[in-house]
């Protein structure tokens, strides 16, 4: 039997980024509902103070670094790819549309997350 860790910090940060960054887009579609549910459980199993801290830090990052620079993209529908285990110590969520990708990331060490993001604009002229 495999023991499941219910309070994984990196997975909790992944879920918070999915919820908070995703809330700014017009509509989101998660490509993996089972993983979304697993991450939600792990987030909800964090102590309330820890949940609030993660949410506050993530939302502060969005307000300070993403909100204005990504304004042309917020009114779009995106597909969400949750990538909590793609790199050690990294929580990654990709918000994908036909012509752009917003990659929200957090480097997680212990109970500390350092947020960052990238915007990739696809060349659709063919």
In the numeric block, the tokens 């820890």 are attached to: 50
pTM over 0.85, yes/no: yes
Q: What percent of the chain lies above the pLDDT cut of 70?
A: 92
Look at residues 18, 103, 26 and name the one whose alpha carbon lies nearest to residue 54: 18
Residue pair 78/100 in contact (Cβ under 8 Å)? The answer is: no
Helix (H) or strand (E) holding 15: helix 9-22
The string of pLDDT tens digits covering residues 33-45 is 999 999 999 999 9
- For residue 18, the SS3 value is helix
pLDDT at 125: 66
Give 20-23 contacts, CB < 8 A, sequence gap 24+: 20/55, 20/58, 20/59, 20/62, 21/58, 21/62, 21/66, 21/93, 21/95, 21/102, 21/104, 22/78, 22/80, 22/93, 22/95
Regions of the chain with pLDDT less than 70: 1-7, 125-126
pLDDT at 5: 58
């Amino acid at each position: 039997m495999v023991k499941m860790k219910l309070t994984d910090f990196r997975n909790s940060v992944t879920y918070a980024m999915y919820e908070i960054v995703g809330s700014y887009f017009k509509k989101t579609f998660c490509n993996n509902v089972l993983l979304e549910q697993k991450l939600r459980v792990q987030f909800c199993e964090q102590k309330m103070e820890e949940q609030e801290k993660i949410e506050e830090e993530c939302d502060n990052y969005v307000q300070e670094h993403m909100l204005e620079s990504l304004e042309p993209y917020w009114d779009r529908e995106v597909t969400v790819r949750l990538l909590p285990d793609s790199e050690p110590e990294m929580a990654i969520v990709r918000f994908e549309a036909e012509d752009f990708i917003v990659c929200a990331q957090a480097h997680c060490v212990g109970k500390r997350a350092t947020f960052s993001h990238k915007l990739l604009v696809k060349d659709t002229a063919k």
